[in-house]
A and B are shown apart, each in its own frame.
Chain A
Amino acid sequence: GAGVSQSPSNKVTEKGKDVELRCDPISGHTALYWYRQRLGQGLEFLIYFQGNSAPDKSGLPSDRFSAERTGESVSTLTIQRTQQEDSAVYLCASSRQDPQYFGPGTRLTVL
């Protein structure tokens, strides 16, 4: 079946602008995760949604970052007032339990 999809694949924005990144999980996967991967680095956890439970936001680096998920479907990650240090690949993953399956990521470049 279809895997995790993300859009856009690339986003170039100017410092100070807001951006919205989208993730479509695998159908039937109740858990959805966002990670950030800076160039040449590992993956940093940002936020996790599980069903109707309150999301685990413990990885969000600042209050400029927020995310929403509608039921068990699409999620959007919003970064307000982008900074150059926000430049990274933002990866979404979904799971039924284990393992997590990743999307192709959105490469964000903040000029």
Chain B
Amino acid sequence: GENVEQHPSTLSVQEGDSAVIKCTYSDSASNYFPWYKQELGKRPQLIIDIRSNVGEKKDQRIAVTLNKTAKHFSLHITETQPEDSAVYFCAASNRGFQKLVFGTGTRLLVSP
């Protein structure tokens, strides 16, 4: 089955810096890759997702890139702010209406 690895497990940056979180997946049939942000004690919230027919997607300060050949995808946050501090999870699935396989999470801390 699918296996998703995520790095780093923790990431500390200064406000205004960029942050990059990387994930790799094992199943070449996977074609949907969402990213969720989870604040302490809260539900995971979708922040961006990408399908395998595109290589990059941007939404304001957040972007995701996908390399299907290498089977990895990355989350890029620019101009980080303290409110970006949270745990970020990547996930993969092999089409709609399928379970998500999650990475182990990255705790991002943005210091003012």
Contacts and interface: CB of A to CB of B under 8 A. Distances in A.
Interface of A: 30-31, 33, 35, 41-45, 48, 50, 56, 58-59, 91, 95, 97-105
Interface in B78-112: 89, 91, 93, 96-105
B82 to A, nearest CB: 21
A78 B82 CA distance: 39
A43 B44 contact: yes
A44 B104 CA distance: 10
A98 B104 contact: no
Contact of B34 (A31, A35, A91, A99): A99
B43 interface: yes
Given A33-B100, A45-B100, 5 more contacts: A43-B100, A58-B99, A99-B34, A99-B49, A102-B44
B96 A97 contact: yes
A105 B38 CA distance: 12
B34 A98 contact: yes
A97 B46 CA distance: 14
Contact of B102 (A43, A58, A104): A43
- What 9 pairs between A and B have smallest CB-CB spacing? A97-B96, A45-B99, A102-B43, A43-B102, A42-B102, A42-B104, A99-B46, A102-B44, A104-B43
B37 to A, nearest CB: 11
A98 B93 CA distance: 10
